[in-house]
Structure 1
């Protein structure tokens, strides 16, 4: 430790600490423009506002760049320091508009604040030749750039290059003509800007500003910290509220899930909250048309239909879809309503369509079906293997972390059917044929075993069934696997050696692995690979499934699954049933319920009488939409509870208006198992209600008298029956979330699972699987393979994002990526229309010609209602997890003539 004196205060700090950091520790705030604690230190600093006086030094020094030395004496507010800062401010003002009275950044402008602090009223360095009339750049859909107000601190450039790792902006020209070059327009060729807005969030003045509909001053707003409602990263953000309206979003200063970064959806995708299309009152369908109703009318009708169906056809004639977009508390009450009040386990949610195979596969091999490690741990990984995940688009902040790790020296392997953004940065890119994941993983393990690269000590101590793994892997030589996957055998060897050669190798995967008829085998094969090299139970390694929606992990944790009560406690276990019967005071069924896909089958067969859908949109998200529509139309009574009149809600008998995440309290659990607060920022829109209040009232109407005063009480009940959440309460996670397992109130949470080889199942299990072809292959009638996925700008079925103007202007409709050779063969041009058909349906979509996909493989995102790709996808399921095979469907493509 080093002892220094700052403004008369003596303190000890670690070696390498800067003067700026040391001063902050004792509450002395030194002004900065260009500094950011996560950015590299600039020699000499860029803005010079943080200069301090060091006793014995000949000149003032930039506190952000100078490390302390033992015995150093520093003055941060001497007259020479103040004079220097005034000079810096006057120089900045000489090239800056003096329009603070009308500037939209008033109240959030450091230049304004520092001028006030140091008494600077005008510039003494005016240049008559300088004209502050540079045009404002409005080309970005979400924010604008005013070069006249830029102070050239360079912070935006460094945030873009070092944190976001995009490098879309930079300083251009030299000397007096230096300016920030900002190629914002996304359609400009070669622009890498992804509109994340992190430059905007970090601009210290009014040069980069969000486009706004409302006029407000920052001191007029209230700041409410909450958790993002989009992907599973769980970014912490501040909602800025004025007059009961969210007017802006800023990243929270320190959130362990995202550490100050947001993506375009998190930063700018909040306009859906008060969109004119929001549902505001209950709707009941009469004579084929919706009419407005009171809450009591809607409750009474739903309760009566449930009672009649239960009495006449039994409780298993009723089913419900819970929601990964709702809070933990709401998912808990939803499954409690169905199990404890209706007496059926027919409850499921969208995890069945994305990560059911993860829950099944990892629970089998490791004892826990969740991400083993934490978001930030990837920064210290030595090798990163990304497969079945377009991470920079589907989980953008984690994608940025991966790129930061590469900057630190990590190696990257990517295995994907498409040439995704991370493939450009990879050391090895394996562009595999869709549906060949298991073969690839087996080929990697074949090389590792054959070349004795496995961690034999770890295997002996912490695993079982290794001999069977060795036996099965013998058949998967690199040459055989290369032929199956359509890649080079030598690249398989290189990737295997790279993964096995380091101490900390992490695997990130998502639905490119899970959404197959062999998805469970794919997940278990990833687990096999990690166990083989001892990469489970250590920091910056592990198996890391990236959950797609904001609370899909939490919905699973809460028991929104047909075979699992909260905490993955099995309904078939008599001890579990007895435990919950005692806790809830009801009789429970021990019969495993129906999955999402089984519900649709029962519905189409006429065997389902009531379906209750909370926050899901199966008319776009489920495979074979024609089959889904047939099922929904045959079910006697359908209830949809949502924030918009979705494609599914249009087919319902009753629609209930729910509150958005900004209108209620609760928690989300992100992909790294971190339970974080969701806070109410505004009153409910119209006559909508939080989902938990709707569910509680309906439970009461059906005869269950339990009343909850708030969401916190529900979490207390969750903690009492869910061992992994035992130590969770709203008070404990008020400032920062905790990762489960957190079994008691004194437990700090668990950063990574299976430390020291401690698996909840005893030992890690090798579960080898042979490669099996996808259920459908290309043939003469359907000669092309369609694979589906997500894109950066839209989310799930676009219920929220299509109501954000900027996003919808950029990507308003469906599209199909197709290789230039394939397009040429079919006579297709970029931007033209094509008809795409499968054995299940047909759609019309827009052609995008790109070499991201291989010949005879096409890709479509599933977000769009027009040209909805799930009319084409295959509803065949993995026999273990019952997850559909979205990723491989045989299609034919025809040009539509003008």
Structure 2
């Protein structure tokens, strides 16, 4: 601790702390118009200058570090006169009507503080650019503080804003040099957040005004788990901003988290229960709807048995919701037929990590991105699908970290990569084996780690000796030199950190893809330490939580095995639990087609739209006797098949917790009241349990009550109380209330028998979905920045104006051969169906490959996707479908 005298009073500073940081902590305000806590100080505005004893000139508080016995003065008459002069200069020709209109702006507050008012009439006609759906640009209010430039460069890494000219002619423009909407902006809103004047401003703020209160919560979109601050005025949301001190997102958000919340107020939101009679929907009371559902479920169970019913949990619902859902399935219905959407995305990850490492969860934390020397990203377009983490990886690469990108497409991160391995879809295993071969044959492996912490080394060495880069190159299409150099880089420039996405998991060998990736980390000792590990990028906000809570036919809460821990849960819940094997979601559909499954309750998940080969899904739903859909909107499943619709609350309207991809449990808080006839998911489940004579098992009065029961069933989360979750959340395992949480797993041992990880011997088995003369292209599906999953949320926001529909991305040479141009309509035909899409010419793709997103119900890309599945967990092979592409006639 340093002793620092500020304005004749002693204060304590810390090494590395700036004077401005200390002033903020002790409550001394000085203007700092170019300063933002998320940026490196650059001191261009000079408004934060202070007097430091021993220095002849005034010093910028924003970048001057405190030292022991430093003496600082902040508000002498000299300094105050200087500051006022700076502000007067900045306010010259400023549109002062905006000061009155937006008094909360930082610059406007300082003008008022120093008594600076308009002295001359500003005759400049403002040129306002409203071309962007979410942001308005009025550079008549720009004071050239450069915050927008710096935050776009240093936080997002998009480099949209640029300073041109010098002196009085200095100005800031976007890279489009014209309309802002035509720039390379990705709509993260960081520039609007940083701007002290409103020269760049959120349209939502202009339209809806300043919030009266702020509620801290967690974003409702991807598994990054960004913390947000929800602005509310008169019980309506008026804006969402990043929580500046959030550990996960470091004061940053993407376009979805920041702007795409207006689905909350969509005109077609369902706010009352509905029952379909003779093909027509009729509104019903909750009593009527619950009674009807309970009677139907009871009748079906009596007639066909408990296993004729299945329940699907929600990756968009809280941990507490999902805990109740799986408990209801087992303790009320009496079946293990419970699943969630992790089945069709990262279930191969969970299985692979459980088999090899002993636990199916991310080993490290997002903060290890900045500690890694090498980062490997496999099968994940991270800046599109997990934008905040993608931005952090991009910034790490810009600052010197090595980056290896493994992807069939040249993604944005590939542009920053040391090596981009552009492999053929479905050939990850040969590529990983070849990298492992190089690591072993060139003696780049960590022998001490292997001997002490793994098993199967001798057998693995013999197996991997055959997988030369030359052999793999013939299969995966990556040059042997690139394979060798990438393997050397990963092994030698440690710590090395792995991220992967659905490009690895959504294959017939999805589980084994992940196992092969883990092997590379084990060989190099990149498990159990900072800046390393295996880190799956989870797709939906609580997909990790819904699975860990037990919405999985094979596990109870805390990933406890149904096979081995049934007695323990029977004692905890004080009821009989089923011993029969439960069905996965794909197996449920198969059972429905076979006539064995009769009813399904689907919560927060559009199964029909998102499952592959929709013809099969339709056949399954047509065979079911009874379907309940619980959601905010009439999704495609509900429209076509549901008998009952139950409206549920959004995450803005309820309390609970989410679990992000790095195992961090964070508190969700209600910011606004929900519509009168809308209930939280857990409340619906509890009411249904009471109607089915099991109220005593669901005697909860709040989400916190449920969480406390979760803690009693799951020892790894026992120490995570609601009170401890007020800021930044806690990563499990956290077994006691004084435990800080676990940032890195497997530091000393692995939770497998013997404590060792397994080096896996995996034979490569190519998918049977291959090109033929009739279907000469491989279609890859994936995510886009602007939409989310089934599009039920984002297509009800202005995101649809930025990205109006799913597109068919084609290599220019392929498009030319077919006779297609940008904007044409193409018909895509597979063995399973067809769909029509607008064409986008895209050089990022290899010839013979096509790409599409899957968010637009009008396109319905799952009419054509492959029904093939991973052999371990039945995850569909969304990433490879053989298709032909035809030009549609005008």
TM-score by length of 1: 0.96
* Cα offset, 1:874, TM superposition: 1.2
Give yes or no for the alignment of 1:166 onto 2:196: no
The match for 2:508 among 489, 492, 517 is: 517
The match for 1:710 among 702, 720, 723 is: 702
Q: Any conservation in 2 of the 1:4–1:68 contact (CA below 8 Å)?
A: yes
Give yes or no for the alignment of 1:766 onto 2:759: yes
* Cα offset, 1:12, TM superposition: 4.3
Query: For each residue in 1:846-871, what CA deviation from the matched residue of structure 2 results, as whole angstroms up to 9, or x when unmatched?
Result: 11111111111001111111221111
Distance 1:466 1:403, change over 3 A: same
> Which SS does the other structure have where 2:129 is aligned?
coil
User: In the alignment, which residue of structure 1 is the partner of 2:65?
Assistant: 67
Q: Tell me, in whole angstroms, the C-alpha distance in 2 between the residues paired with 1:396 and 1:213.
A: 23
> Which SS does the other structure have where 1:876 is aligned?
coil
> Which SS does the other structure have where 2:519 is aligned?
helix
Q: Tell me, in whole angstroms, the C-alpha distance in 2 between the residues paired with 1:187 and 1:464.
A: 60
Q: Tell me, in whole angstroms, the C-alpha distance in 2 between the residues paired with 1:2 and 1:73.
A: 11
Query: For each residue in 1:477-500, what CA deviation from the matched residue of structure 2 results, as whole angstroms up to 9, or x when unmatched?
Result: 101111111111100000000000
Q: Tell me, in whole angstroms, the C-alpha distance in 1 between the residues paired with 2:430 and 2:85.
A: 66
Give yes or no for the alignment of 1:859 onto 2:851: yes
The match for 1:652 among 642, 649, 671 is: 642
* Cα offset, 1:284, TM superposition: 0.5
* RMSD of aligned residue pairs (Cα, Å): 1.7
* Cα offset, 1:439, TM superposition: 0.9
Give yes or no for the alignment of 1:694 onto 2:684: yes
The match for 1:289 among 261, 277, 280 is: 280
User: In the alignment, which residue of structure 1 is the partner of 2:831?
Assistant: 839
Q: Any conservation in 1 of the 2:96–2:117 contact (CA below 8 Å)?
A: no
Q: Tell me, in whole angstroms, the C-alpha distance in 2 between the residues paired with 1:605 and 1:132.
A: 74
Q: Tell me, in whole angstroms, the C-alpha distance in 1 between the residues paired with 2:614 and 2:180.
A: 36
User: In the alignment, which residue of structure 2 is the partner of 1:239?
Assistant: 230
Q: Any conservation in 2 of the 1:186–1:193 contact (CA below 8 Å)?
A: no
User: In the alignment, which residue of structure 1 is the partner of 2:613?
Assistant: 624
The match for 1:739 among 700, 706, 731 is: 731
> Which SS does the other structure have where 1:17 is aligned?
coil
Q: Tell me, in whole angstroms, the C-alpha distance in 1 between the residues paired with 2:178 and 2:385.
A: 18
User: In the alignment, which residue of structure 1 is the partner of 2:13?
Assistant: 13
Q: Tell me, in whole angstroms, the C-alpha distance in 1 between the residues paired with 2:354 and 2:692.
A: 35
Distance 1:151 1:188, change over 3 A: closer
Q: Mapping of 1:208-247 within 5 angstroms?
A: 208-212=200-204, 215-218=207-210, 220-247=211-238
* Cα offset, 1:2, TM superposition: 4.2
* Cα offset, 1:9, TM superposition: 2.5
User: In the alignment, which residue of structure 1 is the partner of 2:810?
Assistant: 818
Q: Tell me, in whole angstroms, the C-alpha distance in 2 between the residues paired with 1:437 and 1:680.
A: 43
Give yes or no for the alignment of 1:663 onto 2:656: no
The match for 1:578 among 564, 567, 574 is: 567
Q: Any conservation in 1 of the 2:131–2:179 contact (CA below 8 Å)?
A: no
Query: For each residue in 1:554-581, what CA deviation from the matched residue of structure 2 results, as whole angstroms up to 9, or x when unmatched?
Result: 00110000100001101111xx111111
Q: Any conservation in 1 of the 2:496–2:533 contact (CA below 8 Å)?
A: yes
Q: Tell me, in whole angstroms, the C-alpha distance in 2 between the residues paired with 1:795 and 1:333.
A: 25
Deviates more, 1:636-645 or 1:149-158: 149-158
* Cα offset, 1:450, TM superposition: 0.6
Give yes or no for the alignment of 1:605 onto 2:603: no
Q: Tell me, in whole angstroms, the C-alpha distance in 2 between the residues paired with 1:468 and 1:133.
A: 77
Query: For each residue in 1:454-504, what CA deviation from the matched residue of structure 2 results, as whole angstroms up to 9, or x when unmatched?
Result: 000111111111122212211211011111111111000000000000231
User: In the alignment, which residue of structure 2 is the partner of 1:37?
Assistant: 37
Q: Tell me, in whole angstroms, the C-alpha distance in 2 between the residues paired with 1:819 and 1:292.
A: 49
* Cα offset, 1:215, TM superposition: 4.5
* Cα offset, 1:686, TM superposition: 4.7
* Cα offset, 1:152, TM superposition: 1.1
Query: For each residue in 1:190-237, what CA deviation from the matched residue of structure 2 results, as whole angstroms up to 9, or x when unmatched?
Result: 84211111111111121111113875542x521111100000000010
User: In the alignment, which residue of structure 1 is the partner of 2:76?
Assistant: 78
Q: Tell me, in whole angstroms, the C-alpha distance in 2 between the residues paired with 1:222 and 1:490.
A: 58
Q: Any conservation in 1 of the 2:807–2:840 contact (CA below 8 Å)?
A: yes
* Cα offset, 1:345, TM superposition: 0.3
Q: Any conservation in 1 of the 2:544–2:661 contact (CA below 8 Å)?
A: yes
Q: Mapping of 1:386-401 within 5 angstroms?
A: 386-401=377-392
Q: Mapping of 1:381-780 within 5 angstroms?
A: 381-573=372-564, 576-650=565-639, 651-705=641-695, 706-759=698-751, 761=753, 762-780=755-773
The match for 2:789 among 774, 787, 796 is: 796
Distance 1:411 1:737, change over 3 A: same
Q: Any conservation in 2 of the 1:785–1:858 contact (CA below 8 Å)?
A: yes
User: In the alignment, which residue of structure 1 is the partner of 2:54?
Assistant: 56
Deviates more, 1:533-542 or 1:753-762: 753-762
* Cα offset, 1:31, TM superposition: 2.5
> Which SS does the other structure have where 1:527 is aligned?
helix
User: In the alignment, which residue of structure 1 is the partner of 2:128?
Assistant: 136
Q: Any conservation in 1 of the 2:274–2:284 contact (CA below 8 Å)?
A: yes
Deviates more, 1:12-21 or 1:319-328: 12-21
> Which SS does the other structure have where 2:621 is aligned?
helix
Q: Tell me, in whole angstroms, the C-alpha distance in 2 between the residues paired with 1:373 and 1:102.
A: 48
User: In the alignment, which residue of structure 2 is the partner of 1:352?
Assistant: 343
Q: Tell me, in whole angstroms, the C-alpha distance in 1 between the residues paired with 2:547 and 2:31.
A: 46
Deviates more, 1:617-626 or 1:184-193: 184-193
Unaligned stretches of 5+ residues in structure 2: none
Distance 1:30 1:556, change over 3 A: same
Q: Tell me, in whole angstroms, the C-alpha distance in 2 between the residues paired with 1:798 and 1:767.
A: 38
Deviates more, 1:526-535 or 1:196-205: 196-205
Q: Any conservation in 2 of the 1:463–1:766 contact (CA below 8 Å)?
A: yes
Give yes or no for the alignment of 1:116 onto 2:105: no
Q: Tell me, in whole angstroms, the C-alpha distance in 2 between the residues paired with 1:519 and 1:582.
A: 36
Query: For each residue in 1:272-319, what CA deviation from the matched residue of structure 2 results, as whole angstroms up to 9, or x when unmatched?
Result: 011111111111011111111111111011100110111111000000
Q: Tell me, in whole angstroms, the C-alpha distance in 1 between the residues paired with 2:97 and 2:179.
A: 33
* Cα offset, 1:186, TM superposition: 11
Q: Any conservation in 2 of the 1:841–1:872 contact (CA below 8 Å)?
A: yes
Give yes or no for the alignment of 1:895 onto 2:883: no
